[in-house]
Structures are given as C-alpha cells and as structure tokens.
Chain A
Amino acid sequence: MMDCKEIFESLSEYIDEELKDAACRQIEVHLADCENCRVVVNTLRRTVTLYHEIPSETLPGDVRLRLHKMIRMEHPKD
C-alpha cells in the first residue's frame, strides 16, 4: 500500500480528478485507512473552493476613467 509520503504529491491532481483510475484507487485505499490524509484532502479541497468563492475585485469607476483617458491619449480615435 502507498504511504502518506507517496500520495502527498498527487493530492491536487486527485481533487482535480486528473488521475488515472489506478492511481486514484491507490489513493482511495490509503485514505480509507488514514484519517490525517483524509483531513488533508478535505481541507485542501476546501481551500481551493474558498479561493474560488472570494468575489472578484470590481474596477472602481475613477480607475476606469483614468485608464480610458490614458488609452485615448496613447491610441487616439480617428
């Protein structure tokens, strides 16, 4: 059976579902027996979803105005 060290490097590919079936099964066999690795997988997956859930920064109106002013100076309309 694979140990914690061996599965460690593949955990992102595991949560992204990018591993081949055999590799995936080996990880699942290990996870069934190793509580700490299950915690790492759960919290790693949650870390990724939390960063997805942070709302995008909206471009402030004054910043947009300054940007477009610069664009028109650099690339004037005909």
Chain B
Amino acid sequence: MKPDLLNDAELVDLAQEGDGSAMEELVSRYEDKVYNLAVRMVGNREDAEDVLQDTFLNVIRSLGSFRGKSSFSTWLYRITANAALTRLRKRSRKEKSEGEFLDEVYSVKQAAQSGERLNDWSDSPAKRLLSEEAKAMMGEAINELPEKYRTVFVLRDVEGLPASDVAEILDLSVPAVKSRLHRARMFLRNHLSHYYAGEME
C-alpha cells in the first residue's frame, strides 16, 4: 500500500522494520508542525532548523523503543519540546527568575486594585494589533517566558493542543498545565498591554 494511505501507527510499524519510505512519509506528515513549534519555542529560524533536524534524528534513533503507549504525535511533540529546550540551554541566555516572572504576572492585579484605570485595547482593529511590528513584539514576548511556561503556552495556545495532550507530552498534571498556561497568558497580556498603550499615545 502507498505510504500516504496508511495511518501513523501503521507507518511506525513499517519504519520500525526498516522501511525508509514509511519513515519519510512520517517526516513529511509532521515536518511543518515540528518546524512551527520549534520556531515558536526558540524564537528564530536558524535554531529552529537545528531543532527540526535533532528531533527527527532522535525519532529515527529511538523509534525502536517506541511502544505505542501514547500516540506517535504525542511522542513526537515531546521529543520536539525537549530538543528545543536543549537548544535554548546551549545559548547563554539569562532566564527570568521565578520571582521576577511572578512579580510581572501579578503586577496587573495590584494595578487593578489600586484604582488605576486599565486600558482596554481589545477591540482595536486587527490590522493594528497584528501589524508586522506587533507580531515581532509578540514573538519576543514569548522569548521572555521562562521555559516551563513557554513550553505549555506554545503547545496549548499556539499549536492548539488540548490541555490533556499537553499534560501527557510534558508529564504534568492537567491542573499544573492550566496554572502555568494562565500565568503565561497573563504575562503576555501585560506585555501586549504595555506595547499597545505606548503605541496609542
């Protein structure tokens, strides 16, 4: 049967037996998703290419030990997330401490309670909110997220995976995923608010 007519599990079986075209079909099926996830995680295309290559290299090398307990895509996303984190750690970047991060997350709560009037930019035209400059700012804001928040946010809100899948990929409980997701979103909301407020002046 032609490889493109087989499902993932069937392709995995064939690839495990050494079928090169089955392996290539699996790669073709997921390369766009893996690349997009990699770009969002590491923040630039060069490192994303390395992550893409490392991911599929790891897939080929560990396919023999894949037992199908989770789906192939869940397993692949886990390998991609780990490859992206390994790449991030190789850069001598300084990550925000948990304390600094949480202070930023909760700054809006203090502002809201102090009686300061918060600026509502939510119904501004999409053209303005998604200008090229704004999109670049949104990418940079993801880069400011500490790793554990970034991974959850990218899988859940950028890739659109259900919280239960994200929990399985990252070996976390669903409540832990939800809590990290919420903090990541609030942090990004603050960044976007600062940017759009500056732009409106």
A-to-B contact residues, CB < 8 Å? 4-5, 8-9, 11-13, 18, 34-40, 42-48, 50-54, 56-60, 63-64, 66-68, 70-72, 74-78
Contact = CB atoms under 8 A, between A and B. Distances in A.
A18 B96 CA distance: 30
B31 A64 contact: yes
Residue among A4, A48, A51, A58 with max Cβ neighbours from chain B (10 Å)? A51
Given A42-B122, A50-B138, A71-B27, A78 B20 contact: yes
Interface of B: 15, 18-21, 23-24, 27, 31-32, 35-36, 39-40, 45, 48-49, 52-53, 56-57, 60-61, 108-109, 111-113, 116-123, 126, 129-130, 135, 138, 157-158, 160, 178-179, 181-182, 185-186, 188-189, 192-193
Q: Is the interface of B mostly helix, strand, loop or mixed?
A: helix
Nearest to B63: A75
A30 B158 CA distance: 30
Given A39-B118, A75-B20, A50 B112 contact: no
B75 to A, nearest CB: 17
A67 B189 contact: no
A59 B31 contact: yes
A42 B189 CA distance: 10
B192 to A, nearest CB: 5
